Structure 1
Amino acid sequence: MKIFLITRVVPFFLQLFVKFIYFTSKKVFHHPKIDENESFVVAFWHGELLMQPFNYRKLKLNGKVSALISQHKDGEAITRTVEYLGIHSIRGSSSKGGAKALISAIKEIKAKNDVAITPDGPRGPRHSVADGIVAISKKTNARILIFNYKATKYWQFNSWDKFVLPKPFGTLEFFIQEPLDISNMEMEEAKELIKEKMLENAMQ
């Protein structure tokens, strides 16, 4: 019964609440001009995950994006919620199912779709960058799009990622940076640049 609640009931009501927040908020978008036929690796912090489906859909109305989501039980509720919001999922992380997830992500990009990843997920440390995002980008030659958003009114959880849940009737400011090319960088150099760029518009 508990598993049913976590994986079915909670995600259904959560996605309704997320949609209510979005549609009752003022929206401001800071987006680059891109070729909609180009496939990207989309990056956002774990704590800013909840509203990113709307950020993506504003950029690519008809695009397909699959998010790498942890195989841990806590990933199930997130998977179900974002599926309601039009985001497909690839199950796996750096700590569990990583090789399988990496292969699936590469296949998605080669199929001309986008792949989304939280570089500090599934368990942190907060605002850290694991190797996966660099590996996917380099193996596919896909550039990286960095997503952030800021909310004027929000709840912030006392979790490792300081998860942010915006409140209704505020302002949501969405950011996507110019595509980032790391093809000629070494692993640590690329990770440092990605972190620097992702922190520019991050909620603290």
Structure 2
Amino acid sequence: MTVVIGNKGAGMSLRKKLADSETVLNWAARRIASYIRMVHRNTRWQRIGYEELDRLAAAGEPVIVVLWHQRLAQSPYFFPLDKGRICSITSAARAGSMVGRVQKLFGMDTIAMSSHKRHVALSREVLGLMKQGISIGIAADGPRGPERVSSTVPLVWARTSGKRVFGITYSVRHGRELGSWDRLLLPRPWRNEGVFLCREWTDQVPRKASDEEFERLRQSLERHMNEITAEADRMVGRTPWSAST
């Protein structure tokens, strides 16, 4: 007698259909957005270093905003959306697509960066948005890492556009790091204290920088992001990240 206890192929197919369902994905995005709003509402925040970014956004002057992937959980509040528009660059993969869905619920624009889209085409699209006065946001170590190793993409866009680059991060007193590659910081959604920290990266990117100069600038941006993130962590009593951990 043969007993069929399940059809593994059918189960996999059902899970895939659910994972690709627009209804399911939109429902999940709304739940995540609700959590982000609850965190923001129930946390006592400090907002530090935003004076110049606020002024530029209100004047319609686009900038390039850089963050670490680990600090994406409060990214909808990184930029002054009441003063200007920003388009975030996300991955076309499932997780990145969800980030984009969530950010759209907060009024952000997004562009999905797929492996099939050539960097030249993406850069052309990004530069076109900046010409319209729309700022660009990107996780410099995304979408797959390594953790806190900056890509050269923000430098390429800064060199081509001539726009200013601002590093933005956040930290909270109570939160935990997930076991993902980026160790995503997940804040406690009640009785919390947090800080948003914004600081301009002021190095100039020459149009004809050598490979050695470009690498030096990449390391400078990476160091800038690590320094402001460590500063934000110290402000709320968290132990700053180190490359050895």
TM-score (norm 1): 0.91
Q: Distance in 1 between matches of 2:193 and 2:123?
A: 36
Q: Does 1:31 align with 2:49?
A: yes
Q: How far is 1:24 from its partner?
A: 0.6
Residue 3 of structure 1 aligns with which residue?
20
Q: 1:69 touches 1:92 (CA, 8 Å); kept in 2?
A: yes
Q: Distance in 2 between matches of 1:159 and 1:28?
A: 27
Q: Does 1:47 align with 2:86?
A: no
Q: Distance in 2 between matches of 1:96 and 1:196?
A: 30
> Within 5 Å, which residues of 2 pair with 1:190-201?
190-201=217-228
Residue 165 of structure 2 aligns to a residue whose secondary structure is strand
Q: Distance in 2 between matches of 1:55 and 1:32?
A: 10
2:214 to 157, 177, 187: 187
Q: Which has the larger radius of gyration?
A: 2
Residue 220 of structure 2 aligns to a residue whose secondary structure is helix
Equivalent pairs: percent with the same residue? Answer: 18
User: For 1:8-28, what per-residue CA distance to the aligned partner results, in whole angstroms no more than 9, with x for missing partners?
Assistant: 111111001110110110000
> Within 5 Å, which residues of 2 pair with 1:53-202?
53-57=76-80, 61-92=82-113, 95-97=115-117, 98-168=119-189, 169-184=191-206, 186-202=213-229
Q: How far is 1:181 from its partner?
A: 4.0
Greater shift, 15-24 or 26-35, is seen at 26-35
Q: How far is 1:178 from its partner?
A: 2.9
Give unpaired runs (5+ residues) of structure 2: 1-17, 234-240
User: How many residues were matched structurally?
Assistant: 201
Q: How far is 1:179 from its partner?
A: 4.8
Structure with a larger share of its residues in helix: 2
User: For 1:130-178, what per-residue CA distance to the aligned partner results, in whole angstroms no more than 9, with x for missing partners?
Assistant: 1211101110001100001111011211011001111122111110003
Q: Distance in 1 between matches of 2:43 and 2:50?
A: 22
Residue 14 of structure 1 aligns with which residue?
32
Q: Which amino acid aligns with 2:82?
A: L
Residue 145 of structure 2 aligns to a residue whose secondary structure is coil
> More relative contact order in 1 or in 2 (CA 8 Å, sep 6+)?
1
